[in-house]
Amino acid sequence: MKIYYKNALEDLVDYNVYTTENSSTFKKFIKLYTLIVWVFLGIVIIFVYKIRNLLSTELSILCILLVGLLWFLINPEMYKKRARKSLIKNERKKLKDFSPMDVTLTLNEEGVAKESRSSQYKVIWSSVENVKVMESYICIYIRYLGRLGYLIVPIKTFKDPSEKDTFLQIFKQYKINIIYI
C-alpha cells in the first residue's frame, strides 16, 4: 500500500506538543503546580484574615482584589495555556529550518519505506515497535540502529475511514501492536 501526504511543520509541532502535554512528567508537574497555588492562596488568605483588624476596609478590599488577581494570573488552567504557547514556540524554533515536503510511505512485505525529496529509507517489519493512533495522527515508532524514531502520518491523508483501517490492518498482519489513544 502506498500513501502520499505532505509533511507539514504544523503536523510535527502539533504532534510534539500533544506528546509533551500527555507525558506523565508534564501531568505530574501540573498537579504539583496546582498544589503550590492552593497552598500559596491559603497562606495569603490566612494572612489577610489575621491582619484585617489592623487594616482599613479599603486596604482589606485591595488585598482581597490582589489575591484574586494573583489567582487569575497563576491559575493552573491559565498556566497550561501559557505552557502550551511556550511549547509551540519552542517546537517552531527547533524546527525553523524544516521545510514542508511531499512524502510517499510504502507498506509492503519487506517493511516500511519512506521517500521524500530529501531522504529515502526502508526498515524491515521487525524494526517497527508499535503504531499509535491519535485523533489527528498515526505515529509509527521505529527502532533503527538502537535509536527510536517515528513517522507521523496525518489522519487527513486518508480519503475515508476504510482506507485508514486498511492501512492499520497491514500492521496487524505483521503483528505490530496498534495503540489507540
Boundaries of every domain in the chain:
2-7+100-180, 13-94
Q: What is the pLDDT of residues 36-54, one digit of tens each?
A: 777 777 777 677 667 666 6
What average pLDDT does the segment 23-30 reach?
A: 82
Statement: residue 29 has pLDDT above 70? yes
Q: What is the pLDDT of residues 120-164, one digit of tens each?
A: 889 999 999 999 998 889 999 998 778 888 888 999 999 999 999
Confidence of residue 180 (pLDDT cuts 50, 70, 90): very high
pLDDT score recorded for residue 159: 92
Q: Specify whether domain 2-7+100-180 bears CATH 2.30.29.30.
A: yes
Measured between alpha carbons, how far is 54 from 95 in angstroms, rounded to an integer? 56
What average pLDDT does the segment 53-79 reach?
A: 69
Statement: residue 176 has pLDDT above 90? yes
Measured between alpha carbons, how far is 74 from 90 in angstroms, rounded to an integer? 21
Confidence of residue 35 (pLDDT cuts 50, 70, 90): confident
What average pLDDT does the segment 67-71 reach?
A: 72
For cell 500533544, what's the residue? 18
Give per-residue burial for 2-32: e unless 16+ CB within 10 Å, then b. ebebebeeebbbbbbbbbeeeeeeeeeebee
Burial label, 131 (beta-carbon count in 10 A; 0-12, 13-18, 19+): buried
pLDDT score recorded for residue 163: 95
This prediction's pTM = 0.66
Angle among Cα 14, 117, 119 to the nearest 5 degrees reads: 75
pLDDT score recorded for residue 174: 94
Q: What is the pLDDT of residues 78-133, one digit of tens each?
A: 766 777 778 778 777 777 777 778 899 999 999 999 998 888 889 999 999 999 99
- Beta partners for residue 115, in sequence order: 104, 120
